[in-house]
Structure 1
Amino acid sequence: MQSSVTLDDLPLNFQEVKKDLSPKEAVDEANRCLYCYDAPCTKACPTGINIPAFIKKIASENLKGSARVILDANPLGATCARVCPTEELCEGACVLNDISVPVMIGQLQRHATNWAIHHHQPLFKKGNPNGKKVAIIGSGPAGLSGARELARLGYEVTIFEAKEKAGGLNTYGIVPFRLPQEISLWEVEQVKQLGVEILTNTIFDEDIMVNEVMEDYDAVLLAIGMGKVPMLGIPGEELHGVYDAIQLIEEIKDGDITDRFIGKRAAVIGAGNTAIDAATCLKRMGASNVKIVYRRSESEMTAYASEYEFAKQEGVEFRWLTQPTEIIDDGNGNVGKLKCSRTKLGELDHSGRRSVEIIENSDFSMDVDIVVKAIGQTRHKKLIEELGLEHDQGIVKIDPVTHQTSNKKLFAAGDVVFGKGQGDAMVVSAVEQGKKAARAIHRHIQSSL
């Protein structure tokens, strides 16, 4: 079956799904807020934004003041207004859930930060120089957040970034119809305007040596995130038409919107938020049929509930309790079929999740042209080990209070510490970790004076 999508349609398919509130809609919505004392919405926000305060300023049409409240607590507040699972965080905690519907906190946050984006007015300034230097490895949410805090405390901050553009996950890894790249790059600019130097296209052991950074700076914050999607470990992964979900989204986010998927049949392996992003991207790129294939059950998928609903609305199909076992050649070196087996869930394993067992004689195949791997991400073990840090399979071990690693001069935040009970894999959580790590660095340096 061919898709009715044409090449001319594709750019429109990648415009933001949610629309901005009009000024009147924003004021009307702000006036629904009860401005609770000891507000549960603020407690539910990982960055602790004073939500009643910023909403009240919208109601009085003080958008600069509203944006300042948001961005003071969360330097990536424009991004988080778009990608946070608000239904599980601030809006989920809104007291109006008991009697009506919650205040649209995410949309109001977007309204205020949009004002800041469009009006080009400085909201914060660099602190008085204190003569100390901090290096940050990685310019994703944790790195940018840490840099902003340190700059406001008077530190000379340099960020080292391997890619061409700063912003990490926000710039490259979140689909453009949820988060346009220009939003992330605006937040990068806000950090640079505080005097932070960002050195892009800088790869450790190629462009700069690890020992140089450790010697030249008073402290180092490791915020390198995670890497590519790992191999599936099944035959046929080398075939043309097999994609890494992270790389696929990065290409699309960077403007590579072509007709290569129009009319194609695709299977996305995995059921996290990245799998949802890849699947919905494929639909919007004109794929005629997209299936998410997951070896566990619907109740165990790790994607947000809102993302799952969005994928279903986009026409993505789901195949639960299905284990891919081989990608079959069409005879010309391209993907032709995906061979799978049915599975069942067993007892709890060492990770606390139910084990997966393949059902004997349950093999079947589905006709596909594209296979996308979305089964998590690898860790940057090589760099972590070069830094001599204690880690658990690439998850850097830190003191939960000080954010210090096994090297007391080196701190860590973001996805590099997420897992095994450490941290939470959300942009907003990484932002908060970056803030806390920056303040811990400040305490550490000041205590040694």
Structure 2
Amino acid sequence: MPNSMTPGLAAGRLGPDEIAGNFADLHPPLGTHEAQVAADRCYFCHDAPCVTACPTSIDIPLFIRQIASGRPEDAGKTIFEQNILGGMCARVCPTENLCEGACVREVAEGEPVQIGRLQRHATDGVMARQGHPFERAAATGKRVAVVGGGPAGLACAHRLAMKGHEVTVFEGKPKAGGLNEYGIAAYKTVDDFAAKEAQWLCGIGGISVETGRALGAGLSLDALAEEYDAVFLGIGLGGVNALTAPGVALAGIEPAVDFIERLRQAEDKAALPVGRNVVVIGGGMTAVDAAVQAKLLGAASVTLAYRKTREAMPASRWEQDLAASKGVQLVFQVTPAEMRGEGAVSEVVFAHAESDTPVILQADQVLLAIGQRLAGGEGLQIAGGKIAVTGAGRTSLAKVWAGGDCASGGDDLTVTAVAEGRDAAEDIHASLMGP
């Protein structure tokens, strides 16, 4: 792992005050009046395309109407009924590709209703109240194991607890939250929101969380299936795809997810070492989050290098523009051919898709964001490198369901993971309670 002793990396490139400003809330919350004005722009469409575009099918016109009529807490309840992690999704969803991208106002005027910020306004208000907005049903006597405390696992656990089941969440890391806690840019979820949301969610009761417990590390799927009435797997993609270019073992090269996790858990971001010349390889959200944060930590130059065209880049155009606005240079149609350096990386050589001349970038830190893979299958049927599922997350093993990034068919978004965890919980409940 790179540290302050790795050549080229240094801490304290920016002072604490500048770091604090750089990592302030990307989209500050709306005030009451601002929310009213934003809500008044909604047409409250009967056949709303924004609802169709939402993976959790939140009744968006309804909750915005509730805000417009001065009932923001009712709006929050409407959101949480479909998406219990609506607070985080309001912060991290690519709304420009989902609800806001489908908004009638966006199509007609190029400026959608601020659905994401309105959702945050409503959900934050409910979470700030004492108590929990949902009550548990009568106890069923059934016990369910949820492996993985990320968005899918937490959504599944909450819905099962609400149905009256007892749920144990097994999480390999020290905190629940999954990528919400460890893998998203710090400026998108400030003030330890991911941990607070997980704690709030568990406030419904009937959910116990055991950290430091990962599948395959003293935790057997067979044993869980024997001990519990059902098992849900929301284990994410724990493995990181490998880069085979020569020199990849040089110091200063690491997975972008490790860099982001280190930054997210740091008590003092100003003390984090970062390179002077940083190269990020990849084109998804992780690549953008890593590149932007390297720049915000004080790197003099940050280049995001992607192997395909801008149009093919998985990260949204809004995220691409955000990176550019922070000073990140985006380079397209380049493939890493060689990492050079004496012990530590000093430059990266790329092959260009449309030129015989290589592209050479100076780099004392290289962050790899070239995708993740399933770390282990535990005897499950695998499809496309993920756990094969049918219907609402049913796997090839009896009593075992799966959802989120580890399961086939999803699009690796927090909001999709929530929907899959929720729907699997409904199917588990139906299976446990019988006809």
**Superposition TM-score tier, normalisation by shorter sequence:** over 0.9
Instruction: Work out the CA distance in 2 between the residues paired with 1:309 and 1:120.
Output: 39
1:234 equivalent in structure 2: 245
1:415 corresponds to which of 395, 405, 410 = 405
Cα pair distance change 1:260/1:115, threshold 3 Å: closer
Once residues 377 and 434 of structure 1 are traced to their aligned partners in structure 2, the CA distance between those partners, rounded to angstroms, is 20
Once the two structures are superposed, the pairs formed by residues 179-258 of structure 1 within 5 Å of their partners are 179-180=189-190, 182-194=192-204, 195-255=206-266, 257-258=269-270
Question: Which residue is 2:5 aligned to?
Answer: none
- The correspondence of residues 280-359 of structure 1 with structure 2, limited to 5 A, is 280-329=292-341, 331=342, 333-344=343-354
The aligned counterpart of 1:28 is: 37
Which of 371, 376, 380 pairs up with 1:389?
380
TM-score w.r.t. the length of structure 2 is 0.92
Q: Is the 8 A contact 1:293 1:318 kept in 2?
A: yes
Query: Take 1:428 and 1:199, find their aligned partners in 2: how far apart are those partners?
Result: 24
Which residue of structure 1 aligns with residue 366 of structure 2? 371
* Secondary structure, counterpart of 2:192 in structure 1: helix
Q: Return the alpha-carbon distance in structure 2 between the equivalents of residues 66 and 199 of structure 1.
A: 32
Instruction: Answer whether contact 1:82 1:179 (CA < 8 A) is retained.
Output: yes
User: How many pairs were matched up?
Assistant: 423
Q: With structure 1 as the length reference, what TM-score do the two structures score? A: 0.89
Contact 2:147 2:215 in 1 (8 A): no
Contact 1:379 1:395 in 2 (8 A): yes
Structure 1 position 213, deviation (Å): 0.8
Matched, 1:406 2:383: no
Q: Sort the Cα spacing of 1:208 and 1:99 in 2 relative to 1 into closer, same or farther, 3 A.
A: closer
Counterpart-to-counterpart distance in 2, 1:215 and 1:262: 47
Alpha carbons of structure 1 residues 4 and 402: separation in structure 2 relative to 1, 3 Å? closer
Cα deviation, residue 120, structure 1: 3.0
Matches within 5 A, 1:130-209: 130-180=140-190, 182-194=192-204, 195-209=206-220
Q: Aligned pair 1:9/2:21, yes or no?
A: no
Structure 1 stretches of 5 or more lacking a match?
Answer: 345-358
AA aligned opposite 1:292: L
Determine if contact 2:151/2:177 at 8 Å carries over to the other structure. yes
The more displaced of 54-63 and 436-445 is 54-63
Cα shift readout 1:98-142 (whole Å, capped 9, x = no counterpart): 443321111110111121232234211122111111111101111
Cα pair 1:325 1:341 within 8 Å, conserved: yes
Is residue 2:244 matched to residue 1:268? no
- C-alpha distance in 2 between matches for 1:128 and 1:163: 31
User: In 2, Cα distance between the equivalents of 1:21 and 1:213?
Assistant: 44
Query: What is the match of residue 114 of structure 2?
Result: 104
Q: Partners in 1 of 2:148 and 2:395 — Cα distance?
A: 16
Q: 1:30 to 1:334 in 2, by over 3 A?
A: same
Which letter does structure 1 place at the counterpart of 2:15? T
The farther-off stretch of 361-370 and 120-129 is 361-370
Change in CA separation of 1:262 and 1:187 when aligned onto 2, cut-off 3 Å: closer
Match of 1:350 in 2: none
Does the 8 Å CA contact 2:274/2:365 hold for their aligned counterparts? Answer: no
1:433 has 2:420 as partner: yes
Q: Greater shift after overlay, 425-434 or 388-397?
A: 388-397
Q: Which moved more, 1:73-82 or 1:224-233?
A: 224-233
Map of 1:445 onto structure 2 = 432
The answer as to whether partners of 2:275 and 2:365 remain within 8 angstroms in 1 is no
d(CA) in 1 for partners of 2:186, 2:136: 31
Does the CA contact (< 8 Å) of 2:13 and 2:270 recur in 1? no
Shift of 1:378: 2.3
- Residue in structure 2 matched with residue 44 of structure 1 by the alignment: 53
Pairing partner for 2:67 from 45, 58, 68? 58
Runs of 4+ in 1 over 6 A off after TM superposition: none
Deviation at 1:189, TM superposition (A): 1.4
| Distance 1:98-1:392 versus aligned 2 partners, 3 A rule | closer
Give, in whole Å, the separation in 2 of the partners of 1:218 and 1:211. 12
Q: CA RMSD in A?
A: 2.1
Q: Tell me which residue corresponds to 1:347.
A: none
Matches within 5 A, 1:64-143: 64-100=73-109, 101-143=111-153
Q: Distance in 2 between matches of 1:135 and 1:445?
A: 13
